[in-house]
């Protein structure tokens, strides 16, 4: 559906996007993740034909973004970062204008506008002037504008920025439900959003893709599971450290009543909580905490994008 | 250049609507009527002259337009760039030419509406005297041609900046220059034949020809060329973001 090959964008001296390639299948929801200034917005601007790449190519549904720009734009719904809208227009007038430009036949405009008004829950504000709406409503008008022509591909640049937690949840729910029939590419620097919505993640840093895969795959790439164990027993830390399943064991704190808290990493990145339990039973130790913690997407992200 | 009339008309309607979506459009029209009539009645002193003619009115018009017309165009691109709405607009399936033409026609329609509000003036003069209506009709046409040229220039300049204030000031300066080269031939005479070139390039000399009551095809061609040239440059400037 979306094919990107060797995409590069240079602004004067800075290289915003550096030889990026990726493919997105029909119906996939892909999260573009990266720190600010990583090249997410530039990539999206190229995909939506707002600017052109310095080198490389991008195509959507087989149409090249440079050579067949009109065809590409017909199939895309785009919500730019910061959701720019005409402040002096009311919601319905604005959506009608978009419908007209999108080439929706006059007889179908009303129903198209009504559909997005209900999908984006704008019923209460249809006659309000956009400039007077709250940020949450404006973001929904932006979404409505992107969905009006029922596009095959949605490009959403930080659709949740500046929203409160409830509004974020609503937008994410909307993106998730759209993903059932549309190809969605959305960017964010908030990791939990990716976990909640996306089939696949592209992590971008300094204009390059540094990792891609499902959220689960990415978490697996990082350094495995740490088991936290709070235990009381004779010389237990040393015995855990010398057990065959242990890669490293480190006492992190002395707890009350002679307990110690130990962080254990298994050999071969394995989750060793069961082995630790057996060892404790065998030695007759008292255990007050036994908890396995996998690396979060946050840690993966931090490892990949630092420096 | 291929264009879809539907797209041009969508942009045209949106822009024309936005002139009247806020009080700005109404304030503009009222202010224009006050200033242009003020000049006509008090500075040109219509009643003391005792002549049923609008010559005084159209004599000051290029200079009044100089400050009013850039105010019509300053917003058209600069605001879209500043707010960022340009990004949504240009990622819709529209050709740059359609957007430029739609915006230009909306600005032109707004100017024509403003001028239409001045029509009670020639009607009143017609009631109290016997003016040469041919000259008056010709002068109105001339005003529309002159205004169209100003608008095309102002529109291009608006597309070069994100600031409406800058767009306004630069437009006034550029239009002033194009007027002045025709208005000051007295001390340009020493330059020799080049004066005729200046005279031909000036927005003013062609307007003066038309307001004499003769609509000459050369003057019409001149204004149309100015409009086409600046709209073309405007399209190229909007397209330039995609050059590589």
Residue in A closest to B85 by C-alpha: A84
| Helix pair B217-239, B203-211: axis angle to 10 deg | 140
The topology under which CATH files domain A225-305 is Alpha-Beta Plaits (3.30.70)
Phi-psi region of A61 (alpha: psi -120 to 50; beta: other; left: phi over 0): left
The topology under which CATH files domain A2-220 is Rossmann fold (3.40.50)
Three-state DSSP state, A266: strand
| Under 8 Å between Cβ of A34 and A190 | no
User: Closest approach of chain B CAs to the CA of A25, in angstroms?
Assistant: 22
The model carries a pTM of: 0.87
Q: Which two tokens stand for residue B130?
A: 């016997």
| ipTM for the whole predicted complex goes beyond 0.85 | yes
* Segment B200-218, tens digit of pLDDT: 888 998 998 888 878 889 9
| Under 8 Å between Cβ of A1 and A153 | yes
* Segment B86-130, tens digit of pLDDT: 999 999 999 999 999 999 999 999 999 999 999 999 999 999 888
What are the structural domain ranges in chain A?
2-220, 225-305
* B7/A49 Cβ within 8 A: no
Q: Which residues contact A157 (CB under 8 A, 6 or more apart)?
A: A40, A41, A44, A78, A79, A80, A81, A186, A187
Q: Let me know how long chain B is.
A: 244
Label residue A166 by pLDDT band (50, 70, 90).
Answer: confident
Q: Using a CB–CB cutoff of 8 Å, tell me whether A86 touches chain B.
A: yes
Closest CA to A75 of A167, A132, A1, A4: A1
* B95/A101 Cβ within 8 A: no
In angstroms, the CA A260 to CA A49 distance is: 60
Q: Using a CB–CB cutoff of 8 Å, tell me whether B83 touches chain A.
A: yes
The pLDDT, as a whole number, for residue A223 is 60
Identify the DSSP state of A124. G
In angstroms, the CA B173 to CA B163 distance is: 16
Three-state DSSP state, B64: helix
* Segment B130-155, tens digit of pLDDT: 888 889 999 999 999 999 999 999 99
| Under 8 Å between Cβ of A184 and A263 | no
Q: Which two tokens stand for residue A59?
A: 């195509």
Sheet holding A76-79, edge to edge: A76-79, A153-157, A183-188, A29-33, A200-205, A208-213
Place of tokens 């290289």: A15
Mean pLDDT (chain A, rounded): 88
Q: Rounded mean pLDDT of A26-34?
A: 91
Closest CA to A162 of A180, A136, A186: A136
| Under 8 Å between Cβ of A230 and A259 | yes
* Segment A278-298, tens digit of pLDDT: 888 988 899 988 888 776 667
Three-state DSSP state, A281: helix
In angstroms, the CA B121 to CA B100 distance is: 33
Closest CB to B94: pick one of A76, A82, A101.
A101
* Segment A247-263, tens digit of pLDDT: 888 888 888 888 888 88
* A86/B18 Cβ within 8 A: yes
Mean pLDDT (chain B, rounded): 91
Q: Which residues of chain A neighbour B95 with C-beta distances below 8 Å?
A: 70
In angstroms, the CA B205 to CA B222 distance is: 11
DSSP percent split of chain B into helix, strand, coil, nearest 5: 85, 0, 15
Q: Which residues contact B51 (CB under 8 A, 6 or more apart)?
A: B129
The CA-atom distances, in angstroms, between B189 and each of B73, B142, B176, B203 are: 34, 27, 20, 18
């Amino acid at each position: 559906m979306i094919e990107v090959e060797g995409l590069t964008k240079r602004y004067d001296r800075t290289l915003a996007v550096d030889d990026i390639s990726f493919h997105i299948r029909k119906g996939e929801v892909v999260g573009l993740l990266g720190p600010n200034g990583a090249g997410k917005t530039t990539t999206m601007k190229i995909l939506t034909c707002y600017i052109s790449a310095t080198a490389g190519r991008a195509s959507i549904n087989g149409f090249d973004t440079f050579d067949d720009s009109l065809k590409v734009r017909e199939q895309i719904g785009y919500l730019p970062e910061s959701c720019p809208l005409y402040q002096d227009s009311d919601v319905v007038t604005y959506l009608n204008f978009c419908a007209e430009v999108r080439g929706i036949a006059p007889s179908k405009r009303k129903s198209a506008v009504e559909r997005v008004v209900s999908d984006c829950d704008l019923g209460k504000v249809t006659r309000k002037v956009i400039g007077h709406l709250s940020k949450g409503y404006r973001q929904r008008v932006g979404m409505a504008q992107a969905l009006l022509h029922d596009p095959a591909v949605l490009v959403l640049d930080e659709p949740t920025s500046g929203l409160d937690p409830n509004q974020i949840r609503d937008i994410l729910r909307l993106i998730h439900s759209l993903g059932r029939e549309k190809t969605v590419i959305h960017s964010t620097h908030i990791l939990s959003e990716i976990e909640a919505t996306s089939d696949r993640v592209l992590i971008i840093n300094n204009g390059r893709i540094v990792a891609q895969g499902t959220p689960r795959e990415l978490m697996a790439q990082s350094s495995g599971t740490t088991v936290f164990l709070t235990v009381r027993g004779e010389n237990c830390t040393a015995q855990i450290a010398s057990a065959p399943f242990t890669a490293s064991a480190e006492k992190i704190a002395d707890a009350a009543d002679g307990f110690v808290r130990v962080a254990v990493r298994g050999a071969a990145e394995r989750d060793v909580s069961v082995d630790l339990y057996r060892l404790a039973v065998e030695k007759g130790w008292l255990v007050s905490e036994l908890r396995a913690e996998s690396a979060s997407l946050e840690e993966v992200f931090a490892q990949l994008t630092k420096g | 250049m291929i264009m879809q009339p539907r797209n041009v008309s969508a942009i045209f309607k949106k822009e024309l609507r936005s002139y009247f979506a806020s009080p700005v459009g109404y304030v503009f029209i009222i202010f224009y009527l006050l200033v242009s009539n003020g000049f006509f009645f008090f500075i040109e002193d219509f009643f003391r002259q005792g002549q049923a003619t609008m010559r005084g009115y159209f004599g000051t018009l290029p200079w009044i337009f100089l400050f009013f017309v850039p105010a019509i165009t300053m917003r058209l691109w600069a605001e879209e760039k500043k707010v960022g709405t340009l990004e949504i607009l240009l990622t819709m399936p529209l050709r740059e030419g359609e957007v430029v033409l739609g915006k230009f026609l909306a600005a032109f329609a707004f100017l024509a509406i403003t001028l239409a509000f001045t029509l009670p003036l020639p009607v009143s003069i017609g009631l109290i005297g016997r003016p040469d209506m041919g000259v008056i009709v010709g002068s109105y046409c001339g005003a529309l041609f002159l205004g169209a040229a100003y608008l095309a220039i102002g529109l291009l300049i608006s597309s070069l900046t994100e600031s409406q204030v800058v767009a306004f000031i630069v437009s006034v300066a550029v239009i002033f220059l194009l007027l002045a080269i025709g208005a000051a031939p007295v001390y340009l005479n020493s330059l020799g034949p080049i004066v005729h070139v200046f005279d031909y390039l000036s927005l003013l000399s062609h307007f003066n020809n038309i307001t004499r009551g003769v609509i000459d095809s050369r003057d019409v061609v001149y204004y149309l060329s100015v409009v086409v040239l600046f709209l073309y440059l405007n399209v190229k400037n909007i397209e330039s973001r995609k050059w590589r």
